Amino acid sequence: MADNKRWYSDTGSHGDVVLATRVRLSRNLDGVPFPSRLSRDALARIAVTVCAVAEKFKDFDLRPIAMESLHPYEAVALAERHLISADFAAARENRVLLLSEDESIAVMVNERDHLRMQTMYGGLCTEKAYGVADRLDNAFDEVLTYAFDDRLGYLTQNPADLGTAMRASVILHLPVLSAQGVMLRFAATAPKLGLSVRSLFGEGASAKGDLYVLTNRVTMGLSEQAALQNLEAFTLQLATRERAAAETYVSQIAVQDRIRRAHGMLTNAMLLSADEMSEALSLVRLGSVYGILDVPAETVNELFVAMQPANLNCLAGAALDASDRDVLRARFVRSKLSE
């Protein structure tokens, strides 16, 4: 049942290159100051109201989670799985998360805007992700009065979000374009199309695991459909380039050697740091996509997500220190890859 799978366990359309598609919509209640300007009581009232509204939804089964009730690493683990923002995990007071069982729908209550709802699925699926977000938005809109202006669209705390207040993103794995050092050049063309590219992990040009996030930048004067089409078109362009470059790349014996050595390292290591793992996993994923290794791509996707520090802490049920995490990470990766 593809629909019950979490985004990182499901390889969808164009799954060789696209790990996931996410759509986020920001909404605010009319006549109410934005969360950063509200008292504790006022924030609590908003949380109660929104939860009461969501409880009555027939099409969406959302469970409320009081962010304050979570252990810090549990909150960060949610951010590592891209279900909430880093800030929502860092400052948890008066914030509530509404989450569906399969994690495909998440609503942040009292983030920078009153409501920030997101949908996330495996593969490239802008239409599906927006479709579900749109229906959820309509369900809230039937009951709540949104802050909306004829000229400016949905009113949001940050003027950069005005208009559709929609951020649509895709997570891309581009190991060959990264290895050939052309990613920065492609990234530089993205702003011309109203898009931005950044690395998923890490900082700077060294995108750990060769994972990138492509997001629409412009929200004003461009319909949701047009923005999604731009995003999808650029994604397909990158995917085409990656595949074209990969054909000759993976046929090289030196590359195949690196892929198999990476796999050997991951299946044998006793200690594994996050960086070391990401680098090797990227090669293993490449080997998996091009039939060099017999490892399902979704297994690699899951490891990318599950082996991040806070998620490892959740697995262990304790806040481990880095060296203990390296032991646990190595053990988990070994067992996962020899299944």
Contacting other proteins within 142-161 (CB under 8 A):
142, 145-161
Under the criterion CB under 8 A, does residue 35 sit at the interface with other proteins? no
Residue among 91 and 236 whose Cβ is closer to other proteins: 91
Cα(334)–Cα(195) distance, integer angstroms: 38
Under the criterion CB under 8 A, does residue 39 sit at the interface with other proteins? no
* CB proximity list for 122: less than 8 A, separation 6 or greater: 5, 7, 8, 9, 10, 11, 12, 15, 19, 20, 298, 301
* The pair of three-digit structure tokens given for residue 200, joined into one six-digit string: 């998923």
Residue among 204 and 291 whose Cβ is closer to other proteins: 204
**Minimum CB–partner distance for residue 112 and other proteins (Å):** 6
Residue among 8 and 201 whose Cβ is closer to other proteins: 201
Cβ-based neighbour number of residue 90 at 10 Å:
11
Cβ atoms of 125 and 171 closer than 8 Å: no
Figure out which of the listed residues 100, 180, 196, 229 binds other proteins, where binding follows CB under 8 A.
196
* CB proximity list for 170: less than 8 A, separation 6 or greater: 18, 19, 20, 21, 22, 124, 126, 213, 214, 231, 235
Question: Binders of other proteins among 45-84, rule CB under 8 A?
Answer: 73, 76, 79-80
Under the criterion CB under 8 A, does residue 131 sit at the interface with other proteins? no
253: exposed, middle or buried (C-beta count within 10 Å: 0-12, 13-18, 19+)?
A: exposed
Cβ atoms of 154 and 165 closer than 8 Å: yes
Figure out which of the listed residues 112, 128, 173, 285 binds other proteins, where binding follows CB under 8 A.
112
Question: Binders of other proteins among 208-267, rule CB under 8 A?
Answer: 213, 215, 217-226
Figure out which of the listed residues 125, 162, 300, 303 binds other proteins, where binding follows CB under 8 A.
162
- C-alpha dist (Å) from residue 310 to 79, 89, 313: 9, 11, 5
Residue among 181 and 291 whose Cβ is closer to other proteins: 181
Figure out which of the listed residues 176, 197, 239, 259 binds other proteins, where binding follows CB under 8 A.
197
Figure out which of the listed residues 7, 8, 121, 201 binds other proteins, where binding follows CB under 8 A.
201
**Minimum CB–partner distance for residue 37 and other proteins (Å):** 5
DSSP 16-66: TTEEEEEEEEEE-BTTS--GGGS-HHHHHHHHHHHHHHHHT-SS--EEEEE
Under the criterion CB under 8 A, does residue 203 sit at the interface with other proteins? yes
Residue among 150 and 294 whose Cβ is closer to other proteins: 150
Figure out which of the listed residues 164, 230, 288, 299 binds other proteins, where binding follows CB under 8 A.
164
Cα(328)–Cα(311) distance, integer angstroms: 11
Question: Binders of other proteins among 173-192, rule CB under 8 A?
Answer: 184, 187-188, 190-191
Under the criterion CB under 8 A, does residue 122 sit at the interface with other proteins? no
Under the criterion CB under 8 A, does residue 119 sit at the interface with other proteins? no
**Minimum CB–partner distance for residue 56 and other proteins (Å):** 16
Residue among 56 and 151 whose Cβ is closer to other proteins: 151
| Sign of the alpha-carbon torsion through 152, 156, 159, 164 | negative
* CB proximity list for 241: less than 8 A, separation 6 or greater: 177, 186
Residue among 102 and 182 whose Cβ is closer to other proteins: 182
Cβ atoms of 298 and 9 closer than 8 Å: yes
Figure out which of the listed residues 97, 274, 295, 300 binds other proteins, where binding follows CB under 8 A.
274
